[in-house]
Structure 1
Amino acid sequence: MVQIHIPPSLSPPTPPAAGILFALGGGVILSVNDLAIKALSGDYALHQVILIRAFVGMAIVLSLMAYSRRGFAQIRTERWREHLLRVGIVMVSNVTYFLGLSAMPLADAVATAFISPLLITMMSAVVLREYVGPRRWAAVAVGMLGVLVMVRPGSGVIQPAAILVLISAFCYASSNLMTRQMRDTESAATLSFYVQVGFIVVSSAMGLWVGDGHLAQSDGVLVFLFRPWVLPPLQDWWAFAATGGAVGVGGLMMSQAYRTTEAALVAPFEYIGMPMAIFWGVVVFGTWPDHHAWVGIALICGAGLYTLWRETVHKKLVDVAAPSGDI
């Protein structure tokens, strides 16, 4: 049997609380990306936004690599096929999500996308063979209930744009499972580096092909994809910087969360993005949540805090007793 040597520096023992905190921090930071993309969707082509965002994100990733212990050696990889597949999945997830986001209210789009933690939990059990016990299923279910309470989905939510967001959620869940599968040989910086490379290559190609706007439509979500490139005025650069910084930092944190911690454990904490969508609605648009929204926030935060408590307070008991079941 051929044994594969796994560099210890790529898969150090990490307490579950660290992965949870990475997921929470990444979710909060990535919510800024949604806000910025929504702000830019009315005036710029999607591939122009993604290209500028990718350059900002790449600068962050390379800066972190430069100061890390392994440096730029992390760029070297023997798993280019997996990277190529993962980059393609991430690309589809981004394009479908942002097309849907451009045609939906921010909170509705974010809530629809949060089918992904449930998908991640189910797929981690089937694909990764990770044990998913009743308490983790309960955390996902309570978080999803909180999202449904906040949005109260009706006929207005199930629309073509929402279908795009659902496709994005499936792709997002798949990409995070691939992150989990590649954790032994690829660092979070490596994973993020190749995603940014993919964004730069594809967005540049799209700009050369349709950047003049010859395929632009007068209405519909596709106008966001085929709108001509324009030179952004100074007042819009905050949004470009925000989306690039959010993806650069938040993406690294989320990759680290799924690399070091079981997917089914991390997934429920991505629901932090829903309260953040409400928060940005208050700060940016001046719309306060109603009582239903506050109940939803309580359910989401309560489920997350309960899971965090279980994983930290009872971790010592698990280490001593070494049970085979879920904690």
Structure 2
Amino acid sequence: MNDNLRGSLFMMGSMATFTLNDATVKYLAQGMPTFQVVFLRGVAATVLIALLAYVTGALRRPIPRRDWPWVLGRSALEVISFLPFILALTHMPLANVTAILQALPLTITAAGALFLGERVGWRRWTAILVGLIGVLLIVRPGGEDFNLWSVSAVVAVFAVTARDLVTRKLSPEVPSLKVAVITAAGVTILGLALSVRTPWQPFEVGQGGLILLASAFVLGGYLFSIMAMRVGEIGVVTPFRYTALIWGILLGWAVFSEFPKPLTLIGAALVAGTGLYTLLREGRAPVPRPVGPR
């Protein structure tokens, strides 16, 4: 098994575990207050990531003083992006949310050109525009399925794009796992702050087990994503992020009896196809590594 194959398998594992986490949280939110679920999962995920950071020595490595504003800014943007994401996740079909999030490589490429001066040729600009048309087919403004939650998913995409632009400002000396601990703690605090608005309810053993399972999925997704970026060629490995679409459709159908409408599938195909084209055009060019757990 060569490095490219290993990296591709790790990326597919990352997309599978992240989507399984989303499905688990969505399922739990049907029987528990959403932000109670977010807080409890956040506590467990933060502990797991902190333990991993401690074992690997990342927790003891200092963050350079010049990087602290970027680290805190990135964590703040992660919290800001998580709120519209979790609202969309709990009110929209899983496949739709997953498909909209796959526009991220396109929006990050466009934002890099607009704000960081990165070179993007007319072919990639065309691909970005076609991909955004795909997003419009999924969201369908003015259609009967268009609502506030569709807008929330799009807002989450733009907030994550801003987060990843800030991520590019971090120096190589910043330990990724330590940033992940800070980010996970920030999302947990968000869950706690918003959970006090609704009465908490006791949860059963099975629900507690699912919360721990979701936390394990977050940790697994993060680990797989790191391993995927450390072996093989990025241009070969990164396109396998689109396997999340398959998981979103399968889990939406199997767990929630949801199946995307034809226009949604066409839009998802446009987003994935143009994203793959953009990644192939970038070739071996560096792409931002995921730093936060989600």
Task: Decide whether aligned partners of structure 1 residues 74 and 130 sit closer, same or farther in structure 2, where only a CA change above 3 A counts.
Answer: farther
Aligned-pair distance for 1:39? 0.7
- 1:325 is aligned to none
The answer to whether 1:123 aligns with 2:104 is no
The answer to whether 1:278 aligns with 2:278 is no
| Aligned equivalents of 2:96, 2:267: Cα separation in 1 | 13
- 1:74 is aligned to 61
Structure 2 alignment gaps of length 5 or more: 286-294
- 1:229 is aligned to 200
| Aligned equivalents of 2:276, 2:104: Cα separation in 1 | 19
Task: Decide whether aligned partners of structure 1 residues 137 and 198 sit closer, same or farther in structure 2, where only a CA change above 3 A counts.
Answer: same
Task: Decide whether aligned partners of structure 1 residues 250 and 136 sit closer, same or farther in structure 2, where only a CA change above 3 A counts.
Answer: farther
Supply the RMSD in Å over aligned alpha carbons: 4.2
Which residues of 2 match residues 144-223 of structure 1 at below 5 A? Answer: 155-207=143-195, 210=196
Aligned-pair distance for 1:85? 1.6
Q: Secondary structure at the match of 1:227?
A: coil
> Which amino acid in 1 is paired with 2:218?
V
Aligned-pair distance for 1:35? 0.6
Residue pair 1:100, 1:162 contacting (<8 A) in 2 also: yes
- 1:37 is aligned to 25
Which residues of 2 match residues 280-295 of structure 1 at below 5 A? Answer: 280-285=251-256
Task: Decide whether aligned partners of structure 1 residues 292 and 228 sit closer, same or farther in structure 2, where only a CA change above 3 A counts.
Answer: same
The answer to whether 1:99 aligns with 2:70 is no
The answer to whether 1:55 aligns with 2:26 is no
> Which amino acid in 2 is paired with 1:204?
L
> Which amino acid in 2 is paired with 1:54?
G
Residue pair 2:99, 2:268 contacting (<8 A) in 1 also: no
- 1:88 is aligned to 76
Task: Decide whether aligned partners of structure 1 residues 304 and 289 sit closer, same or farther in structure 2, where only a CA change above 3 A counts.
Answer: same
- 1:213 is aligned to none
Which residues of 2 match residues 129-148 of structure 1 at below 5 A? Answer: 129-133=117-121
Residue pair 1:188, 1:255 contacting (<8 A) in 2 also: no
- 2:288 is aligned to none
Q: Secondary structure at the match of 2:120?
A: coil
> Which amino acid in 1 is paired with 2:46?
M
TM-score normalised over the length of structure 1: 0.67
> Which amino acid in 1 is paired with 2:50?
L
Task: Decide whether aligned partners of structure 1 residues 183 and 269 sit closer, same or farther in structure 2, where only a CA change above 3 A counts.
Answer: farther
Residue pair 1:89, 1:175 contacting (<8 A) in 2 also: yes
Aligned-pair distance for 1:277? 0.8
| Aligned equivalents of 1:61, 1:135: Cα separation in 2 | 40
Residue pair 1:188, 1:256 contacting (<8 A) in 2 also: no
Task: Decide whether aligned partners of structure 1 residues 56 and 138 sit closer, same or farther in structure 2, where only a CA change above 3 A counts.
Answer: farther
> Which amino acid in 2 is paired with 1:35?
A
| Aligned equivalents of 2:170, 2:247: Cα separation in 1 | 29
Q: Which has the larger radius of gyration?
A: 1
Identity of aligned residues (%): 28
Aligned-pair distance for 1:77? 4.6
Aligned-pair distance for 1:280? 0.7
Structure 1 alignment gaps of length 5 or more: 1-14, 211-225, 319-327
Aligned-pair distance for 1:244? 1.5
Aligned-pair distance for 1:204? 3.4
> Which amino acid in 1 is paired with 2:61?
Q
TM-score normalised over the length of structure 2: 0.74
- Tell me which of 207, 210, 215 is aligned to 1:239: 210
Residue pair 1:275, 1:297 contacting (<8 A) in 2 also: no
